[in-house]
Structure formats: structure tokens, C-alpha cells
Structure 1
Amino acid sequence: MKAEAAQNKEAKENDRSAGEDTEKPNIVYIVLDDSGFSDLASYGSEMKTPNLDKLAENGLRYNNSHVTPVCSPTRAALLTGRNPHSAGMATVANFDMGPEYPNKRGRIKPEAGTVAEVLKENGYNTYALGKWHLAPSHQATPAGPYENWPLAKGFDRFYGFLEDSSDQYKPELVQDNSFIETPDDENYHFSEDLVDQANQYVTDHASVNPDKPFFMYLAFGAQHQPVQVPKKYIDMYKGVYDKGWDEIRKERFERQKELGIIPENTGLPPLNPGVKPWDQLTKEEKNAFIRFQETYAGFMTHTDEQIGRLIDNLERVGELEDTMIVFLSDNGASSMGKDTGSINHTLAYNDIKESLDDIAKNTKYIGSDKTKAEFPQGWAQVSGTPYRLYKSTMYNAGIKSPLIVYYPKGMKEEARGEVRSQFVHAIDVTPTVYELAGIKLPTEIKGVEQMPLHGESFADTFNDGGAETRKTQFFENNGQRAIYHDGWKAIGLHSPAQGQDFTLDKWELYHVAEDASETKDLAGAQPEKLKELQDLFEEEAGKYNVFPMSFIMGDGFLSIPKDSLRAKNSFTFYQGMSRLPEGASPFLINRSYSITVPIKRDKKDEGVLLALGSTESGYTLYIKNNRLVYEYNRGNKVYKIESRQKVPSGPSTITYKFDHTGQHKGTGTLYLNGEKVGEAAIEETHKFKLSFEGLDIGKDSNYPVSPAYVKQRDFEFTGEIEKVVYQIQQ
């Protein structure tokens, strides 16, 4: 391999013309999702991550690197070099809060051009793979609008998914500007597919156009729920986690000190609220929780293996030495699994508690396509070692990320493998790239005047452990806020009881230069320092479009702006339509509505008329054994209505009506040619989100909503569907 790589590198250098592009490095951003500060071996973990460790050994690790506490804002910051509020992405892209909140429209503003747009104008080919999550969910449709999709934001090619998370075995795939079917392969895994595609892009580029540099944005769905990975990777960790989260956390903490990842004087905070000591758990709890963590660890090792495949291919085609690789996670580990863990992420997103009995019965399936798993918060705290709390919070466990920069041409040999402790933030990465590539930010992109960069290059730290970086950075997400300045940090805590009144926030103060794990709140002892930081937050927030703030959690899913396609009261769909993602489907939560389907059939025709969702949740309307059936799967209960009469041959009009009778409940009724043929009370519907799989017309692809047709692939309707009409009452 090494000999082949050396020959290919020499051939590439001979092939390249003497143009200016030859001096510009290839750039690769690798982003993990919901992975905590301590999850890599090079940051203290017991997990096997040899390929990322190799990048760290031959590059630099940053132990004071920051992101935002949730995914979309970090990605916007990384790709634009601007603070996410100014760029229009103050919270996750699922939440488009409408024109009243211009900083929360779920999209990157045109005046905050992406690194792909800038590099493309400077001779780069640009490739994006994996998670996008930078377009409003209501725009993630097979018919657009496309202006916030990757190709409209500067990428030549895209292969991945558009929303916040993806099933690893049956993802809702997009290639360039088209939805495509999941490959029909029982051994398929999305992370492997991503790197297959990435390697194809690299190989084609190096073979056909080696005189141009390239930029690649590789954003894995890992480690976000659902945590799914082949069993052999789970089995690698048999016995490793039997000692429990208390011991594993202590071991990581000590290892971090040995590695120089945390200062010697760092304290280990007590267990987070709601996390029981391991020795207080029952045997049943321990068995389930061990399997969750074995799966998470196997998922991490599997992801690292895919990253290794990309690195090997870069070396094989002679591109590795000319490539700068930046690795990070978008935020800290998620606590959405709560105290028991989760095997159904629709329930988790709807804040519906799962029973330990259900989890215990399904423990052996964790990691497979039969569960959509998320580990319990005790393991999430381990991921964030040595810090407090989790993703979505302003404590360091939410906003500190591992950062590895590999760039052999820009680092002296003696610097490689070192740890850097300067403050850096996701907004600083792209300005660093521009400096190294000798690129000046254009004043306009596509005729739109560009806002200045907010981040600053940290290229000087590559060879100087004492190089200065900037001193100040604010943080805000969904009403929670913080400000860092010169080794101090103030955190403003907002509670649901306060509504939108942010004047009642409780503030804490930490001298993080001396107390990295935020164990000593100095707000009472140093009120003047706290006031200084509070005033600085107001100044920074005013400068970077933080206001207006809003306190939203799951209810952000309920915001349907009037200028979106989803705001309509009537929808007409036709047989043959590509699957429509749930976030762009007709909005039915807490509303009365009807679905009308004119059909033609003979007595043998059957199948799905429409279906939204998967085995974990959703609804389906189908004909089987000449009966009309509607099912609503909440995730922990299924409501089923079957017609009393048979569906006749010839033309018929099928109607399902839901009459909303109270908060998250109602009555479902089936009609056949205007005659009521079935009815049932549906006592519990979803609060925020129906499913993570979209709407099919005339079939139920990917995971089936109903077990009644699980053995019949897609259960495609064999008759004719004229159309499917949704009518929704506000």
C-alpha cells in the first residue's frame, strides 16, 4: 500500500500543471453527531478509535475547542465562519419560527456564504456527504424548494440525508437534488455507504482532475440515535462495561490527565441529577444498560473504521499529504435516553417515558434494525467526562468538543502529536482554511453582499503552543445562554416556568481557566465579575443577532410558518410520488382532518393506500382480505379500526376522518362511499413529531407501519389510486 501510494503521489505531482491551485490544500471536514468530549481513545476513552488516534498522533488535539450545544447551529458556524444567529441558524433546522424570528428560520442566510461557495469560486471541487440539517424540514421535499439544499450552498455533489437523524439500515437518501431508494442489501450500513461514496468522489477526482484541489464535508449520522451497528462490533465490547458507568468515568478521568487532555487540578463532578450510582441499579437495569453502551462503543469503532477507509484511499491515490483534515463533534452527548435508555426514538422525541420492561424484553435487539436505540443518561455523562450535564446545555459537556487537525504540510514534525489548550470555536475553522489556502473572502456571492467573518484563524497554533487566539465567545440556544471571556464563563439558566421572561434567569459564574469542570460557582463571591460578563453577553448578543430570544423545546416542531408549503390546509398527492419526509408532510398534530382516497379495484386487489412512519410509530391506511383498515401506532400503543363491510369491486371512495376531541386525542372514523364502516377512540396521539420515516402513497416502503403486512415487501396496492386528498382544519 505504501509503495503504491508513493508512486501515485509522484504521478499526481507530475500530472499537475504549474497553476496556483497546486499550492492550495485539499480540505476535509469530518463531523460526528452527539459524540461527547471523552469518546475517542486520544481523549481518554477505552473505545477503540485507532484511525482517529493516528490523525491525532500526526496532527494536533485541541482540548479547549467549543461548538454550540445542538447540531444545526454548529454546522452553520463551521461551514460559514459566522455566529449561527447572524447566519440565521440559532437553533435546529426543524424549527422554522417564522419571520418574527429572523435568526431562527432553519436556513443559512445568503449573506453568510458557505466555505463550499467560497472555495468553489477559488478553483475547488466541493463534495458533501451525510447529514445536512441546514434546510427547514418543510423544504425537504422531492420537489424542493431547493435553495437551502447542499447544491445550492456551493457543493458540486451531495449524498446523504436532509434532516436531523437517520436510520443506519434504511435511511431516507438524497443524491444531489433527488431522493433515491435505499440499496436493497441485507448487509447495508449507512456509514459504510457514505464512505463508499466519499472514496468514489476522491478516486474520480484524483484520476480525472488532479490539478484541482477539493473540499469534502463528511458528516456522519453516528453517534446520533438511532444507535445501530452490526453485532460483531457490539461483541467487541463484551465485558468491558460490566463494571458500570461510575468506574468507566473515573478511568477516563484519570486517563485524560495522563494524556494532558485536562489539567491536573481538574475536579470530577458528582453524578448528574437523575443518574443513580451503578451499584444501586437492579440486575435487569445493569444488563440493559451494559448492552446500550456496548452498542454505542461498537458504533464508534465502526465509524472510526470507516474514517480509516477514507484515509487509506486518500493515501492510495496520492492525496493524503496535500490534505488538511479537521475532525470534531457537533455537540455533546445526548441525554434523551433519560434514566432507562430508549429503544424508540419517536417516543424519546415526544417526551414519552419508555418502560424498563419493554427495554429489557428487547435488549438483545439493541443495535439492530428492530430498535432505534439511545443510551441512558448515565452513559451520556461518561461521554462528557469530566464535564457536567449534556447536549443542549451551556455547561462544558454540551459545548466542548474534541478537535483534531491533521495537516502535515503545515505542521513541524516536532509539533505533531501535541495538545493545544487555546480557546477555539467552530466559527474559527473556516477562517483558518481561508488563511492556509490564501483565499480572501469575496465581498459578494451570487450578487449578495457578504457579512464579515466572525471567527478568527488559529493557524498560528499549528506550530506555536503559545500563540494567542481570541478571548470572547457567546453561546445561546432556546433561551439558555452563556458567555466566555478570557478564562471566565457565565451561564444564564432559564426554566420553563419563566416562559419568555429572561429577566428572571439564574446566573452562575465559573473561572474555567482554573476550574475546567465547572464545579465552583463564584456568582455569589464575585458579583462584579458576573456583572461584567452579563454586560458583555448583552453587547455580543446585540452585535450578532441573538435577539429576539425564545424558549422552545419540543414545541419547536409545532411551529409551521405561513410562508411554508406545510401551512396549507389542503394537499393532493398522486400514486408514484416519492416518499415525502415526515417534516414536510401534512401537519396533523392536535387538529381535525380527513383523508379521502378514490380507488378502483377488483376483489383480489389489496395493499397500502398511504402510510407514514415505520415500525416504531406512524399511521397507515390499507386494504387486506377485502377489509379497509386504519392503524395509528403511537410507539407504545396501536389503535386499529377495521371496516365492518368489505370493500366492493369497482370504484370506491375511501375516507378516514379524525375529530380532535381534546389535547392529543380524538375519534377516528372510516367511511366507505360515504357510509360509516368503523370507528374508535384514539386516546393518545403524538405531542411533537409523528415519526422519522415519511409518507408513501400506494405502498409502505422501508420499515412497515403495521405488522399485518410485515412479510409483504412494500405491500403495494394492486388496484388504482386516483389521488389522496388531505383536508385539515386549523
Structure 2
Amino acid sequence: MNYFNKLSVLSTAAVMASTLTFNGDSLAAIHIAKEKGPSKKESKSLENNNNEKGPMNVIYIVLDDSGFSDLGSYGSEIQTPNMDWLAQNGLRYNNAHVTPLCSPTRAALLTGGNAHEVGVGTVENFDLGPEFPNKRGGTEAATIAEVLSEKDYNTYAVGKWHLTPTHQTSPAGPFDHWPLQKGFHQYYGFLEDSSHQYKPDLTIDNTQIPSPMDENYHFSEAIVENANRYITNLESAYPNKPFFLYLAFGAQHSPHQVPQKYIDMYKGVYDKGWDVFRQERFEKQKELGLIPKDSKLPPRAEDVKAWNELSGTEKRIFIRFQETYAGMLTHADEQVGKLLDNLRRTDQLDNTMIFLLSDNGASASGRETGFLNFTNAINGWYPTIDELAQHYKEIGSGKVWPDYPKGWAQVSNTPFRGFKNSTFEGGVHVPLIVYHPTLIKDPGSIRSQYVNSSDITPTVYDILGISPPRVIKGEKELELSGKSFKGLLMNREAAGRDTQYFETSGHRAIYHDGWKAVADHKKGEPYEKDRWFLFHIDKDFSESTDLAEKYPEKLKHLQKMWLKEAEKYDVFPLTDIFEEGFLSIPPDTIRAKKHYTYYRGMDRLTDSAAAPVINRSYEIKIPIERKSQHEDGVLLAHGGFDGGYTFYIWKNKLVYEYSMGNRGGYKIVSDINVPIGKSVVTYQFNKTGPDEGNGVLYIDSQKVGATKLKDTHRYKLSFEGIDVGKDTKTPVSPKYADKGEFVFKGALTKVEYTLRD
């Protein structure tokens, strides 16, 4: 369903202009938007929150995996006129920091606490069990939505959530850490870390719903359409009641999927390659005053080739990846424009404060080549250039799950070294734009003080004059570790934060009074063997020069400070588990069972909450009944086009397929027909070594087929879950791709799994 599809956005000329700059004479797009904003004469004093419109509205806009330099107002050639309008009429922060992973940043942002102290020390996909209480997922502190809902705010969340332990994302919950239970009155989005942009795993409030069938659907458009609907409903019914909106895009996380016209906007733009664009963004940032004039650009990452060393085929494919990435960001920006237009239309913009940021730096998950299948990448399987070339035209479509190569991620993170999941600045240093129509006296300017994502919610409380309650829902609340930077909105000389620790996947860092120490951890190595770097950030903005050997005492001092902060904020125990976290099965979770029964009629069960069959022996048994040879269809499907397994009856034969997406897979076809009447079909997988085993298919007690599975999934099976009696979303097998859900026409009551060690 589409809402507000007639809302206007910035003019086509503004969005399409390829010569946009942030300062100077070519600001047509920004000027067009600026004319719609509140003038100083029109703006009312809102600081006492007693204006005729009531308390101020609050909006958080979160981009996903977008680097420091990706926005036009931060030095990029990518067209983002609506976000640039917020910067021109608000403030840009050039020293804003987050954790280098999705879930921890979101937890810190919404609670005002450091990620570890609120229990979200890693992504929610990994529940590492009772021995790691800081990495079990689910925020252990009240969110701003819980606080503001008690202050008579309506609270809305749309988009990516990723704050529920993913094994709790089943259609039956537990719901404790779903958006509605964390203070939001309405929710529309997906619960996990990423989802297909055209056919996402959708949840509305506490109910999972089927993926949309509309071929024109796009997730970025839908979340803003729903946000606008919520806002318009409230303004129509209760015009003086304020709202809090949490708008979390799936963009720019993979899959990079966007309509072709947005990709075409950048045709030919990136032909010069990533080395040129990194340098151009670097120079533009100096020109804009975003980085010091004497900044140095760190060398290219060791595993990123110089652009002129690539083959013609490599260049062609890698350009397509970046055209898609840029088009997706422009498309997301267009949706921000729709939100701003609706605020203007409902006379709300001059009574709304907006905070826009990215959750971490750009991701290097694409490694040297990029990929077309996220599931395969998690399992360590990357495509060859020939394989990429075969799917060149599909990049950006819903047929593949693309992510760009590491070379473009380094451009996104200009001028820094490091990437997402790293504690170098490339992982933790992000754009932050703050819009407030009355507190900001010098719109369009830059703030250079150090701030952290945990500081944003305390800032909102400070602006609204709210003291967070010490007890919410009967639970005693943590004292906020975030610090308000309200003063920075009004005074460019106000102080920022002086100390902030970082930790992710064993990587550590600490910032204090202009200096930063970084421990670059090598997975599997003892932490005491890690190399520590030392940077004087006040004089070396881009971490270009390591001073560890020159100032060993300063490094020791910062190492001691890190230890103190880590103990204070519950960082210990450390672990460098990452992909292996998908295999973690704590004994107190649903995934610790050995026997599962799934009944027909069950909503699609998410992969994260499904029976964990990876790298173990197991049996799947399905009683069925057929009244005629025409009763075919899917009996069980787990996964989608990215991988998984499926049982189906095709021309009276029982078929089992194990798919690894575009890597191929394995198939067993029964050597007898499936009988008419009652029967029991069974699949047994007997593990014979790491990630391999023998698959055997039975009808009743008769063996009807077998195969050797030599290389099965290591960590993640799919980003699509389990269907009983059909295959919704994208099909596991291309064999029945033209048959819709290929619903089984016979009788099927249940599917039984028995798992072995």
C-alpha cells in the first residue's frame, strides 16, 4: 500500500544537478529547499516548550553504513540536496562519533548510555550467552521513546530496528525487545540487521506481515510514507500533541538495491575510479572547512588495489557497484525530502528538532571485489570477476544482494583509515547534522567539538527540560553516561566531550583530550600482543601518523584510561567472536532445543529463530497425504534466492534441494513416485566432517535418494526464514520460481526436526 505518493519533493532540477556544491554559487537545490523553511521572523521561541503548538517534536534519522564523506555537505559528489538543506539550516558536526557496529550505536543513541553498559556490546545477531552479559542483546535501559511516551508524546519507529536478539524475532516473540515494548506506539519496518529492499521481512507493530507484491515497492519509500501517515494522523486528530519519530533507513547497508533511474543518474560519473574520488572528496572537505587544511590523507588500505592496476572488466563492474550505491543514497535523500515537505505541509517544521547521522562508517564487507550474495559473503564465499560480469546488469535489482568493493568504502570514509567494525576513525567517525529552528543562531556552520551518539538523547532531554525518571515500568534506570551538548547548538565555543572509549570484536580505542590510542586486534591472538597506535587527533585529524614509539608514556597513560573506562562501563569480558556468533546457542534460548515441530499455517519463521541445522547432524520428517498425482508443491522451504533448502513435489517426484545461491548447490530427486494417500517423507543429514556430510532422502522407510554435500554453510543459511507448505518471498529453487508461492495442494499438518550434536 502506498501513502502520500503525491507528496512533492525537491524539484527534479535540484535532485538531478550534477554540479552541486555546498558553498558557492551553485546551491540552486539548497536554495530551492531553503525557501520552504521557516524564516527567523516566522520561527517562534520554543525553548520554554510552551508555544501554541505545544512541546517540540523530535526526529532521529539514521543512515546505515554511510561513511563520513558520503553526503554532499560533507564533501561528496553524491546528490543529497535534502540532507544538505538540513545542514545549511542547522549545524554540521565534524567530530561526531559512534560505535563501529549497527546495534550498539542504536542502543547508545536511543538510551543515552554506552552500548556495553546497556547490554548491546555487539550486533543483535549474536547472543553470546550468560558468560557475556554485555553481549546478549536487548537494551537494558529505557529508550527515549519510553521516556517521552510518559511525557504525553506519540512515539513512532519506522525502518531497521536491530535491537532485538534475533532469536526472539519469531512471529510469537518473545516481544520484550520489540519496538512497541521499548516505548513506541507504532512501528513499520524490519527487525533484523538487513533485508531485501523490494521484498523485505516486514513487521507492523507486533505482527509480521507478508512481503509486498507491488513491483513498485521500495523499503526507503515505504518507511517514509508510513512516517508521514503517522504524523498527519496525529496532527489532524491532536494538533497540539508532540511526537518522537525514529526513522532508520536500510540504506546504505547491503543490499544496494534501487530503481534503475537512480543508477542511471550516475552513469559515467565514477569512470575516474576510487583513487581520484578519494582525493577529490579530501580536497573538497578542506574547502568546506570540514577538516583542517593541513590534514594528510592516509595511504590506501593494503588490500585495495590502485585503480590503474585494475583490468577493464574490473573497472566496469566496480563502477556499476558505486553507481548503484550513489543512486541508493540519492533515493534515500529524496525520501527525506518527502518527510520535510510533509512537516511543512502540516505546519510542523518550525516546531521540530532533527538529528541525522550514520550508525557507523562504511563497510568493507565487499572486500576486494564486492559481492552479489550477503549470505555467501558471511560464509566466506566471494564471487570471481567472471561471476560478477555475468550479473552486471542485475546489480541494483532485486535479483541479487549487492555490496560494493572495499575501495569504494575507503572513499566513503574519506579522510580516515579503517572501516565498520574497526575502532580507527573510519569505523567510528560519522556525519552528524542537527536542525533546531530557534536554538541555532548560526545556521550552516560547523561544530568541531567531540560528541558521541550517546550524547544525543541527553541533549534532547536537556532541550525539552526533561529529567528522565529513575524508575520506568518498575525497573530502576541507569544514570545516563551520555552528556548533553545543548550548549553547542547555541554557542560554537561551548565544550564537547573529553573522553570516550571504544570496543568491538576485540578492537579497542580511547579518545582523551585530543589524543587517541587504538589497539588493532588480530583475531585469535592474545590481546596483550595487539599493536597499539597513538594519534594526536587535535593535530592529526585523519590518523595519518602513528606516534606510539615517539610518546610511549602518553600511550601507557591512555591504555590505563581505557582499562578504567572499560571496567566502569561493563566492557569485560572481551571476545573477538564475530561470524561464529551466528552459531552461538545459549542454553536459555529457543535455539537450544533438540526437537522442533512447525505446523502448517505458521507465519514465516525468521532464520534467526529457526531450528539451527548448520554444521550438525539432523533429521526432518514430514507426514503428508495426496489424493491425486496433481497435488504437488512445496512441503518445506527455509531460505530464498541467497541460499537455503527446500522440499517439494514435482511431477510426482520428491525433490530436496540445498542451495548456496549463485554458487550452486545439491539436489536429490526420489527414484520412485510419491505415493497417493498417506506417506512420511524424511531427510537425514549425517555430518562427516566440518561443514560436510551425507544427505539421504526417504519416503516412509524406503531410501529413495542420496548425495554428498561437500561444502555447506558455515555460519549463516539465509536471510529468509522457514515456510511450511509454501515458499513465500524469493524462491529457494529457481525450478518453481514462476509458480509464485508454489503452495502444496495436498494435506500437510506439521514438520518435525530432530537435531543431533
2:640 aligned to 614, 618, 622, which one?
614
322, 327, 330: which one pairs with 1:298?
327
Structure 2 equivalent of residue 77 of structure 1: 108
**1:265 counterpart = 2:291:** no
Whether contact under 8 Å (1:62, 1:419) holds in the other structure is yes
The Cα of 1:497 is off from its aligned counterpart by 3.6
5 Å matches for 1:316-715?
316-412=345-441, 415-498=442-525, 501-601=526-626, 602-635=628-661, 636-715=663-742
Contact 1:5–1:318, Cα closer than 8 Å, also in 2: no
Question: What letter corresponds to residue 120 of structure 2 in structure 1?
Answer: M
Q: Distance in 2 between matches of 1:446 and 1:603?
A: 58
Question: In the superposition, relative to structure 1, how do residues 29 and 6 fare at CA in structure 2: closer, same or farther (>3 Å)?
Answer: closer
CA shift at 1:270, angstroms?
1.2
Q: Does the CA contact (< 8 Å) of 1:392 and 1:477 recur in 2?
A: yes
Give the AA of the match of 2:134.
N
Secondary structure of the structure 2 residue equivalent to 1:473? strand
Equivalent residue, structure 2, for 1:40: 71
Q: Distance in 2 between matches of 1:482 and 1:624?
A: 57
SS at match of 1:205: helix
Query: Could you tell me how far apart the structure 1 residues matched to 2:241 and 2:630 are?
Result: 59
Against the structure 1 CA distance between its residues 286 and 157, is the aligned structure 2 distance closer, same or farther, given a 3 Å change threshold? same
| CA-CA distance at 1:553 after TM superposition | 1.7
- Specify the SS of the correspondent of 2:224: helix
| Partner Cα separation in structure 2 for residue 424 and residue 125 of structure 1 | 28
Alpha-carbon distance between aligned partners in 2 of 1:308 and 1:350, rounded to the nearest angstrom? 38
Contact 1:253/1:386 (CA < 8 Å) preserved in 2? yes
Q: Does 1:97 align with 2:128?
A: yes
Distance 1:726 1:709 in 2: 24
Distance, in Å, in 2 between the alignment partners of 1:362 and 1:686 is 22
- Measure how far apart 1:637 and its partner are: 2.1
SS in 2 for 1:105: coil
**Matched letter for residue 624 of structure 1:** W
> SS at the partner of 1:324?
strand
Q: Residue 155 of structure 2 contacts residue 183 of structure 2 at CA under 8 Å; is this kept in 1? A: yes
Residue identity (%): 55
The one-letter code of the counterpart of 2:216 is N
Decide whether aligned partners of structure 1 residues 507 and 696 sit closer, same or farther in structure 2, where only a CA change above 3 A counts.
Answer: same
Partner secondary structure for residue 574 of structure 2: coil
Per the alignment, residue 231 of structure 1 pairs with 260
Asked if the contact 1:23–1:437 (Cα under 8 Å) also holds between the matched residues in 2, the reply is: no
With normalisation by structure 1, the TM-score equals 0.97
Distance 1:726 1:11 in 2: 65
Q: 2:300 matched to 1:275?
A: no
Query: What is the CA distance between 1:19 and its match in structure 2?
Result: 7.0
Gapped regions of structure 2 (runs ≥ 5): 1-7, 9-32
- Aligned residue identity for 1:267: K
Q: Is 2:277 the partner of 1:251?
A: no
For the pair 1:210 / 2:236, whether they are aligned, the reply is no
For the residue of structure 1 that corresponds to 2:430, the secondary structure is coil
User: Helix, strand or coil: the match of 2:341?
Assistant: helix
Task: Tell whether the 8 Å contact from 1:21 to 1:213 is kept in structure 2 after alignment.
Answer: no
Match of residue 59 from structure 1: 90
- Residue 60 of structure 2 corresponds to 29
Cα offset, 1:182, TM superposition: 1.9
Question: Residues of 1 paired with 2:198 and 2:37: CA distance?
Answer: 37
- The answer to whether the 8 Å contact 2:251/2:332 transfers is yes
Residue 719 of structure 2 aligns to a residue whose secondary structure is: coil
Q: Quick check: 1:67–1:426 contact (8 Å CA) kept in 2?
A: yes
Q: Deviations over 1:537-593 (max 9, x none)?
A: 011011000011111121111111111111111110111110011111100111100
CA contact (8 A) 1:69 1:398 kept: yes
Cα deviation digits, residues 139-186 of structure 1 (max 9, x gap): 000001000100000000010010000100000000000001122211
1:463 deviates by 2.0
Distance 1:722 1:33 in 2: 41
| Equivalent pair of 1:6/1:318 in contact (CA under 8 Å) | no
Taking structure 2 as the reference length, the TM-score comes to: 0.93
Which letter does structure 2 place at the counterpart of 1:502?
Answer: Y
Residue 209 of structure 1 and its aligned partner are, at CA, apart by: 1.3
* Distance change (3 Å), C-alpha of 1:387 and 1:649: same
**Deviation sequence 1:403-451 (CA, Å, 0-9, x none):** 0001112212xx1000110000000000000011110010100010111
Q: Contact between 2:372 and 2:400, CA under 8 Å: does it hold in 1?
A: yes
> How many residue pairs get matched?
717
* Contact 1:108/1:148 (8 A) holds in 2: yes
CA–CA separation in structure 2 for the residues paired with 1:145 and 1:512 = 44
Aligned residue number for residue 173 of structure 2: 144
Equivalent position of 2:159 in the other structure: 130
Deviations along 1:340-392, one digit per CA (max 9) or x if unpaired, are 11011111111212111110110111000111000000000000001112111
CA distance in 2, matches of 1:354, 1:5: 47
The separation in 2 between residues aligned to 1:5 and 1:263, in whole angstroms, is: 33
Q: Does the aligned pair in 2 maintain the 1:643–1:677 contact within 8 Å? A: yes
SS for the counterpart of 1:408 is: coil
Give yes or no for contact 2:53–2:351 (8 Å, CA) kept in 1. no
1:11, distance to aligned residue in structure 2 (A): 14
Cα displacement (A) at 1:674: 1.0
Contact 2:43-2:438 within 8 A present in 1 as well: no
Q: Deviations over 1:67-120 (max 9, x none)?
A: 0001000000000000000000000000101111110011111xx110000011
| Aligned residues of 2:631 and 2:745 also touching (Cα < 8 A) | yes
CA distance in structure 1 between the aligned counterparts of 2:170 and 2:42, rounded to whole angstroms: 44
Q: Conserved in 2, the CA contact under 8 Å of 1:124 and 1:212?
A: yes
